[in-house]
Amino acid sequence: MFQLTSTPVEGQSALYEHLLEQTRALLAEERDFIANCANLSSLIFHTLPDLNWAGFYFHRGGELVLGPFQGKPACVRIALGRGVCGRAAAERRTVIVSDVQAFPGHIACDSASNAEIVVPLIAGDRLLGVLDLDSPRRGRFDDTDRIGLEAVVKELIGGSDEPRF
> Which residue from 65, 61, 72 is spatially nearest to 112, judged by alpha carbons?
72
Amino acid at 104: P
Identify the burial level of 105 via C-beta atoms within 10 angstroms of its C-beta, where 0-12 means exposed, 13-18 middle and 19 or more buried: exposed
The per-residue DSSP string of 50-86 comes to S-SEEEEEEEETTEEEEEEEEES---SEEETTSHHHH
Q: How far apart are CA 163 and CA 116, in angstroms?
A: 25
Q: What is the pLDDT of residues 138-155, one digit of tens each?
A: 999 999 999 999 999 999
Q: Please check whether residue 153 lies inside any domain of the structure.
A: yes
In a domain, 1, yes or no: no
Note whether residue 116 is domain-resident: yes
Number of domains in the chain: 1
Examine residue 104 and state whether it is found in any structural domain, yes or no: yes
Residue 33 located in a structural domain: yes
Non-local (6+) Cβ contacts of 64 within 8 A are 57, 58, 77, 78, 79, 80, 85, 86, 89, 129, 130
Look at the pTM and tell me if it is higher than 0.85: yes
Q: What is residue 100's DSSP assignment?
A: G
Domain that holds residue 92: 12-158
Let me know if residue 3 belongs to a domain. no
Is residue 7 assigned to a domain? no
Over range 115-135, report the average pLDDT: 97
User: Residue 72: inside a domain, yes or no?
Assistant: yes
Q: Which CATH number does the domain housing residue 43 bear?
A: 3.30.450.40
Summarize pLDDT for 65-121 with one digit per residue, the tens: 999 999 999 999 999 999 999 999 999 999 999 999 999 877 877 778 999 999 999
